Amino acid sequence: MALAIDPLIRLNGISKVFHTEEVETHALSAIDLEIRAGEYLAISGPSGCGKTTLLSLLGLLDSPSEGSYVLAGEPVSGLSQAQRARVRSRAIGFIFQAFNLIGDLTVYQNIELPLKYRGMVPEERRSAVHGALDQVGLLHRINHYPAQLSGGQQQRVAVARAVAGRPLVVLADEPTGNLDSANGAQVMELLAELNRGGATICIVTHDPRYLDRVQRAVYLHDGRLVSDQPRDREVA
């Protein structure tokens, strides 16, 4: 498959080393990876291979020990904490395995949160929240608190929160890990639908069933990228 001329994300020679009590963990070594706009990518591999680490670098939660990261034409590997926060609020949407909704906030307030951090004006926030919530089919739960929702519903709210601000890329770390298969399938269907609508999505998963739904699967082993292949679905 030919490389896109202008990829949304380009990682070059990225590595990440954790230093803890005289032990060095090479979580990622010399990763080269490009993700095009509109792509639906899965990262998989055995436990401890570095998937979450990679996702945290992609999401600018952390900075690499080595290598360069260009996001939408902007080099972002050398940014300060504050700068990374700013980029994060505009360009990245996160979906977590543990949903990570904030318990004291209603569904509406949860989805609104990243929009607020981005500095969006209230009316725009309103319509964005409603649009996203409609997309995940939970408009009728808008004033509920997370504890009043089922796990699947919570994760759908989390999906709405990730996409409400139309980020450049949606990152999801095992979004179905805490769900039963029916709910998991529903969430994956939602992500596929978003992708069809043009969203760039990058998920971490080991579930082979879901790998079928993505355009491209990347395998990590021991912090190295060992395989990068397009999936059938893209062809279909």
Ligand X SMILES: Nc1ncnc2c1ncn2[C@@H]1O[C@H](COP(=O)(O)OP(=O)(O)OP(=O)(O)O)[C@@H](O)[C@H]1O
Binding site for other proteins (CB under 8 A): 52, 55-56, 59, 61-62, 81-82, 85-86, 88-90, 92, 94, 96-104, 113-114, 117-118, 145-147, 151, 154, 161, 173, 178
Closer residue to ligand X in complex, CB, 97/183: 97
173, 172, 174, 214: which is closest to 192 by C-alpha?
Answer: 214
DSSP symbols for 7-72:
-SEEEEEEEEEEEETTEEEEEEEEEEEEE-TT-EEEEE-STTSSHHHHHHHHTTSS--SEEEEEET
Q: What is the Cα–Cα distance from 232 to 63, expressed in whole angstroms?
A: 33
Residues in contact with ligand X, total (CB under 6 A)?
11
Please give the residues from 19 up to 58 whose contact with ligand X meets the rule CB under 6 A.
Answer: 20, 25, 27, 47-53
Pick one of ligand X, other proteins, Mg ion, none as the site partner of residue 184 (Cβ within 5 to 8 A by kind): none
CB 155 to ligand X: min, Å: 17
For position 52 contacting Mg ion by CB under 5 A, the verdict is yes
Cα distance between residue 99 and residue 232, in whole Å: 29
C-alpha 236/C-alpha 229 separation (Å) is 15
Residue closer to other proteins, measured from CB, 190 or 215: 190
Q: Applying CB under 5 A, does 12 fall inside the site for Mg ion?
A: no
Query: With binding defined as CB under 6 A, does residue 205 bind ligand X?
Result: no
Stretch that binds Mg ion, among 52-60, 65-73, 76-84, 132-140 (CB under 5 A): 52-60
CB 171 within 8 A of CB 59: yes
Query: Of 6-14, 18-26, 130-138, 154-162, which part binds ligand X (CB under 6 A)?
Result: 18-26
Helix and strand totals (H; E) in the chain = 8, 10
Nearer to ligand X, 94 or 108 (CB): 94
> Two tokens at 140?
């009728």
